[in-house]
Structures are given as structure tokens and as C-alpha cells.
Amino acid sequence: MSAKIKYTNEPLGKVQVVSDFLPSPAQLAFREEGVKVTLALSKKSIDFFKGEAAKHHTQYQRMIRRLIDAYVDVQAPTPQSSRALRDKVAPRR
């Protein structure tokens, strides 16, 4: 990449203005209150989540928490549900 870029004063073509789509700082700082619980899960479930978490470079507890949150959001949606906020902050690809 040692070649210099040569800029010209040519028309750009059809340009479209994009409205502000970034989340507000308040949305980015939002964090739901956590409650610690003790839960006994089957070995096969934990092995599954640990394996998937390793593939995706994340924590297995976080995956389980998000799975439960997604279930709750579908069953009892609220105006400030965590799923709706996550979709605004980081849309799925």
C-alpha cells in the first residue's frame, strides 16, 4: 500500500443522504439488572453451550442468559425488552 492515492474533482454520481441510524449513548449504556441464581442443568446441555461458546469466542453463561431473555421477550414482550434494545443497537446479519 505504498502507492499514493490520486484524488480527482469528478462527480460522485447519485448520492443518498442516510438518516442518523446510530443508537443514543443512553441505549448503549443500558444494562439490565442481574440476579444471581443457582440452577442445576444437565451435563449434555452444559457441554453443548460450552462447545458453542468456544466456537463463537464467548461465555457459555452469557449464551444461556440470552437464550432465556429471548424466550421471555417472545412470551411477555415489554416496551423496554432487552431483545428490542439489542436489535436497535446491533441489527442481526
For residue 76, tell me if it sits in a domain.
yes
Q: Give, for 54, the enclosing helix (H) or strand (E).
A: helix 43-55
pLDDT digits (tens, 9 = 90+) for 1-52: 678 888 888 888 888 888 887 777 777 777 788 899 999 999 999 999 999 9
For residue 62, tell me if it sits in a domain.
yes
For residue 63, tell me if it sits in a domain.
yes
The boundaries of the domain holding residue 55 are 40-89
For residue 2, tell me if it sits in a domain.
no
All cell numbers assigned to 39: 440452577
pLDDT digits (tens, 9 = 90+) for 53-69: 999 999 999 999 999 98
For residue 53, tell me if it sits in a domain.
yes
pLDDT attached to residue 93: 45
For residue 65, tell me if it sits in a domain.
yes
More confident residue, 92 or 69: 69
Please report how many Cα atoms fall inside a 13 Å half-sphere around the Cα of residue 65, on the Cβ side: 13
DSSP calls for 12-26: --S--PPPP-SPPHH
pLDDT digits (tens, 9 = 90+) for 71-88: 988 898 666 555 555 555
For residue 71, tell me if it sits in a domain.
yes
For residue 22, tell me if it sits in a domain.
no
pLDDT attached to residue 83: 53
pLDDT attached to residue 9: 87
Domain count across the chain: 1
What one-character DSSP code corresponds to residue 7? -
